């Protein structure tokens, strides 16, 4: 898609790779980009002056105060370069007359990474690698398990959850799926904690790029079961749900206690899907066999930063990183060449489609 007149877009929070992709694609789409490494905030909103559309990353929380500052400089559309949008106060955006849209990108990046983490968890890879690093080459005290002998429960059967199930089928494991009950708010037009999506005020709206939300049916790739049955029956539970009011602490203390003793948890969705304090307790008392987490509750301000010489306030995160059966990575499952290209291109496309709709109106 190109636009008859140059369209200005301010792209906030761009790393070098994103900035390079914006500069590469802009001429093709007839876009004039203003690119900044700075995160969007009340102070940096002025960088969007003259541009109605902005593109933002998922690393920065966009508050009502920031939205107010953006509105005052004329911003009327925000495209987030992510599938998730829980970092944006969508309801407040609507009150300021700002529309919000997310993007789709290849689910393969996260699906591949999920299976890698799942395998690392059931084969106790963290302990093995740590010991090899100090030249301790003895066999692990606990033997690994083979996927064909396990039942894997997939929570969230949208594009990523479906891609994970497609991969798991090749390993011969039994697959249980839970997808279309707790997350109904996602498919029926609710934007997480922010309430109803669609029209907010006169022009604000939320446009979810997903065709069927993150909670769809499993397409015959697994046995669809209630969540309670999935938790009680699964040797591994992997989370691919959106974060909203229904799914916040989806795995809380009570649900973790219902899980199969010795089960593993994999989370490449959103950190707050799991109550971190309850998770740590279940690992400490041996209720769970291990976890592999690419996202952790309270990761904001820690992940994507060099914290080697700075204190980390999140006690659950620090405790998890100490544990030999807890593998942590810094929200990097999505980070591939293809996904980066998809997010930037689709964010530009979102802005152009907004301008086209606005021009027709």
For residue range 124-135, what is the model confidence (pLDDT) as tens digits?
999 999 999 999
Give the mean model confidence (pLDDT) for residues 1-16: 81
Q: Is residue 187 part of a domain?
A: no
- The CATH number assigned to the domain holding 236 equals 3.40.50.720
Q: Is residue 193 part of a domain?
A: no
269 and 355 housed in the same domain: no
Q: What are the pLDDT digits (tens) for 313-358?
A: 899 999 999 999 999 999 999 999 999 999 999 999 999 999 988 7
Catalytic position from the list 87, 187, 270, 345: 270
151 and 250 housed in the same domain: yes
Give the mean model confidence (pLDDT) for residues 170-181: 89
Give the mean model confidence (pLDDT) for residues 178-199: 39
Q: What are the pLDDT digits (tens) for 37-55?
A: 999 999 999 999 999 999 9
Q: Is residue 206 part of a domain?
A: no
98 and 127 housed in the same domain: no
Q: How far apart are CA 222 and CA 86, in angstroms?
A: 28
Catalytic position from the list 52, 331, 345, 355: 331
Q: Is residue 196 part of a domain?
A: no
Q: Which residue has 């090749």 as its token pair?
A: 170
Cβ pair 278, 253 in contact under 8 A: yes
139 and 275 housed in the same domain: yes
Q: Is 240 a catalytic residue?
A: no
Tell me what pLDDT residue 40 has: 97
317 and 353 housed in the same domain: no
Q: Is residue 41 part of a domain?
A: yes
Tell me what pLDDT residue 208 has: 57
Sort strands 151-155 and 326-328 into parallel, antiparallel or unpaired. unpaired
Q: Which of 280, 291, 287 is nearest to 314 (CA)?
A: 280
135 and 278 housed in the same domain: yes
Q: Is 270 a catalytic residue?
A: yes
Tell me what pLDDT residue 354 has: 94
Average pLDDT, the chain: 88
- The DSSP H or E segment spanning 16 is helix 16-29
Tell me what pLDDT residue 184 has: 37
- The confidence band for 269, taking pLDDT boundaries of 50, 70 and 90, is very high
Cα Rg for the chain, rounded, in angstroms?
A: 21
Catalytic position from the list 224, 299, 345, 355: 299
User: What is the number of domains present in the chain?
Assistant: 2
296 and 344 housed in the same domain: no
Tell me what pLDDT residue 201 has: 31
Give the mean model confidence (pLDDT) for residues 238-248: 94
Q: Is residue 169 part of a domain?
A: yes
48 and 171 housed in the same domain: no
- The confidence band for 106, taking pLDDT boundaries of 50, 70 and 90, is confident
Q: How far apart are CA 21 and CA 341, in angstroms?
A: 7
Cβ pair 297, 319 in contact under 8 A: no
Q: Is 187 a catalytic residue?
A: no
Q: Is residue 31 part of a domain?
A: yes
Sort strands 204-207 and 198-200 into parallel, antiparallel or unpaired. antiparallel
169 and 309 housed in the same domain: yes
12 and 144 housed in the same domain: no
Q: Is residue 353 part of a domain?
A: yes
Tell me what pLDDT residue 189 has: 28
Q: Which domain holds residue 73?
A: 7-106+337-360
- What is the distance, to the nearest Å, from the Cα of residue 355 to the centroid of all Cα atoms in its chain? 27
């Amino acid at each position: 898609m190109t636009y008859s007149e140059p369209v200005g877009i301010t792209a906030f929070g761009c790393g070098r790779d994103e900035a390079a992709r914006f500069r590469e694609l802009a001429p093709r789409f007839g876009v004039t980009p203003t690119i900044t490494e700075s995160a969007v905030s009340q102070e940096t909103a002025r960088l969007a002056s003259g541009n109605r559309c902005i593109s933002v990353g998922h690393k920065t929380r966009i508050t009502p105060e920031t939205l107010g500052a953006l509105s005052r400089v004329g911003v009327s559309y925000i495209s987030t370069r992510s599938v998730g949008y829980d970092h944006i106060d969508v309801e407040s955006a609507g009150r300021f007359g700002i529309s919000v849209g997310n993007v789709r990108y290849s689910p393969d990046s996260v699906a591949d990474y999920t299976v890698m983490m799942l395998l690392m968890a059931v084969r106790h890879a963290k302990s093995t690698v740590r010991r090899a690093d100090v030249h301790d080459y003895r066999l692990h005290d606990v033997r690994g398990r083979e996927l064909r002998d396990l039942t894997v429960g997939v929570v969230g059967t949208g594009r990523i959850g479906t891609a994970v199930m497609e991969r798991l089928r090749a390993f011969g494991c039994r697959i249980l799926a839970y997808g279309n009950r707790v997350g109904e708010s996602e498919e029926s037009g609710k934007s997480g904690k922010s309430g109803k999506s669609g029209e907010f005020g006169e022009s604000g709206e939320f446009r979810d790029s997903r065709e069927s939300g993150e909670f769809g049916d499993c397409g015959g790739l697994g046995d669809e079961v209630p969540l309670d049955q999935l938790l009680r029956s699964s040797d591994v539970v992997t989370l691919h749900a959106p974060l909203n009011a229904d799914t916040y602490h989806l795995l809380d203390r009570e649900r973790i206690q219902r899980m199969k003793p010795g089960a593993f948890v994999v989370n490449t969705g959103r950190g707050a899907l799991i109550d971190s304090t309850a998770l740590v307790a279940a690992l400490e008392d041996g209720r769970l066999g291990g976890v592999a987490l690419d996202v952790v509750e309270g990761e904001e301000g820690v992940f994507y930063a060099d914290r080697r010489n700075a204190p980390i306030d999140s006690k659950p995160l620090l405790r998890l990183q100490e544990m030999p059966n807890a593998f942590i990575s810094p929200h990097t499952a999505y980070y591939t060449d293809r996904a980066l290209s998809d997010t930037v291109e689709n964010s530009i496309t979102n802005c152009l489609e907004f301008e086209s709709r606005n021009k027709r109106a």
